[in-house]
Chains A and B, each alone.
Chain A
Amino acid sequence: EAQVTQNPRYLITVTGKKLTVTCSQNMNHEYMSWYRQDPGLGLRQIYYSMNVEVTDKGDVPEGYKVSRKEKRNFPLILESPSPNQTSLYFCASSKPSGGQGRDTQYFGPGTRLTVL
């Protein structure tokens, strides 16, 4: 089954304790992305990756890091989490369908993070 998986699904942590949220897709997609969803704001892009070893900042990258060493995996790293990073996080992937970003993005189930 074609899917995007995220782990963990739920995480409660404390300020300053480094954490990683994993994301994996089995569709051989080049493009992967991380979003956060906050009440009243919709989903906002954190980081994206056009392919292996190619990553760039989205709209809200502060406090986050990513890496793309393999095509299928795109982990999100919070080096020193803070309470304002409490949010619902979604990973997404897509395959280019003719340029100019018209491809449909497939989303993972989400990771609910609480930073105390």
Chain B
Amino acid sequence: DQQVKQNSPSLSVQEGRISILNCDYTNSMFDYFLWYKKYPAEGPTFLISISSIKDKNEDGRFTVFLNKSAKHLSLHIVPSQPGDSAVYFCAAIPDTGRRALTFGSGTRLQVQP
């Protein structure tokens, strides 16, 4: 039973438009959320995070929104660029000391020039 779900395996958008990647979680113990980006043949790299005490965090073209009541978060990329084409993983950490990231299955984003 996956506790973090990314229901869209792939997404294609035009360059310059907005990309919206979605993530749902079931474990109410999660209180910190992260997005990682992964290129082929490389490890995931950290992109942006949000604490459960916030509902929005912005870093340049990337914004993460958190809706705790719906147990839903989303990553917005504006404007999308071809270099953003990668697999995006949503991850969550519970409010315990183990530091284990629980990952979603990933969404492959393709930004068309």
A residues adjacent to B (C-beta < 8 A): 4, 31, 33, 35, 40-45, 48, 56, 58-59, 90, 92, 94, 99-110
Is B41 an interface residue when CB atoms closer than 8 A count as contact? yes
CA distance A31 to B99 in the complex (A): 9
CA distance A59 to B101 in the complex (A): 10
B residues adjacent to A (C-beta < 8 A): 2, 4, 6, 32, 34, 36, 41-46, 49, 51, 89, 91, 93, 95-106
Nearest 10 Cβ contacts at the A-B interface: A107-B43, A42-B103, A101-B99, A43-B103, A45-B100, A42-B105, A104-B46, A107-B44, A101-B93, A109-B43
CA distance A75 to B98 in the complex (A): 19
User: A91 — nearest CB in chain B belongs to which residue?
Assistant: B43
Q: B91 to chain A: which residues have CB within 8 Å?
A: 43
Sample of 19 further A-B pairs with CB below 8 A, known A58-B100, A102-B32, A104-B46: A35-B103, A42-B2, A42-B6, A43-B89, A43-B103, A45-B101, A48-B98, A56-B98, A99-B97, A100-B32, A100-B95, A101-B99, A102-B93, A104-B34, A104-B49, A105-B46, A107-B44, A107-B45, A109-B41
CA distance A115 to B45 in the complex (A): 27
